[in-house]
């Protein structure tokens, strides 16, 4: 009998189990080991100090962010591979979507409404950070909405783990 993960379209499995975990591990590496690069990638230029070194407090916070990125990567890369329970997939991806929304809000707050919506003015860093965030959030919303899923797997109360329980 095929596992229910085979009922999950390849685009979802590839993006959630491979692409996003690799991106999250990369972000964790940058946040912890290359904090200046991480800040340049994630913050608008107007917020970046020109010459000041990373303070111990900033390094502490970036290292904690790195830990969160690693948890995110492990949940996606390992937990989603270890279960065929679509309810578990949905809950993990719902949690990730809530994180996406917080990230989008933080970007909007930092950039300001005018710059946030003027995508034609974004630097490559904004496209790499916010653009990929939008892609992940859109795929999560599509998955949670059942786009591309079989009829049985769209129903959130059905637990498809191969044995009908």
Q: What is the pLDDT of residue 44?
A: 82
Q: Does the predicted TM-score (pTM) go above 0.85?
A: no
Q: Is residue 1 predicted with pLDDT exceeding 50?
A: no
| 69 band by pLDDT with thresholds 50, 70 and 90 | very high
How far is it, in rounded angstroms, from Cα 161 to Cα 149? 15
Residue 164, Ramachandran bin (φ over 0: left; ψ between -120 and 50: alpha; else beta)? left
Work out the mean pLDDT of the chain and round it to a whole number: 86
Q: Is residue 163 predicted with pLDDT exceeding 60?
A: no
Q: What is the pLDDT of residue 11?
A: 94
Mean pLDDT of 99-115: 90
Q: What is the pLDDT of residue 85?
A: 87
Q: In the chain, which ranges are E strands?
A: none
Q: Is residue 41 predicted with pLDDT exceeding 60?
A: yes
């Amino acid at each position: 009998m095929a596992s229910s993960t085979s009922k999950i379209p390849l685009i979802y499995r590839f993006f959630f189990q491979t692409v996003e975990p690799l991106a999250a591990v990369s972000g964790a590496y940058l946040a912890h080991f290359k904090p200046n690069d991480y800040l340049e990638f994630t913050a608008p230029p107007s917020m970046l100090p020109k010459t000041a070194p990373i303070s111990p407090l900033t390094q502490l916070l970036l290292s904690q962010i790195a830990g969160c990125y690693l948890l995110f990567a492990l949940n996606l890369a390992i937990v989603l591979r270890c279960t065929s329970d679509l309810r578990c997939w949905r809950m993990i991806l719902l949690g990730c979507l809530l994180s996406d929304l917080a990230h989008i809000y933080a970007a909007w707050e930092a950039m300001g409404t005018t710059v946030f919506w003027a995508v034609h003015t974004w630097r490559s860093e904004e496209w790499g950070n916010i653009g990929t965030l939008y892609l992940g959030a859109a795929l999560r919303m599509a998955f949670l909405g059942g786009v591309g899923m079989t009829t049985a797997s769209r129903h959130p109360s059905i637990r498809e783990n191969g044995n009908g329980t």
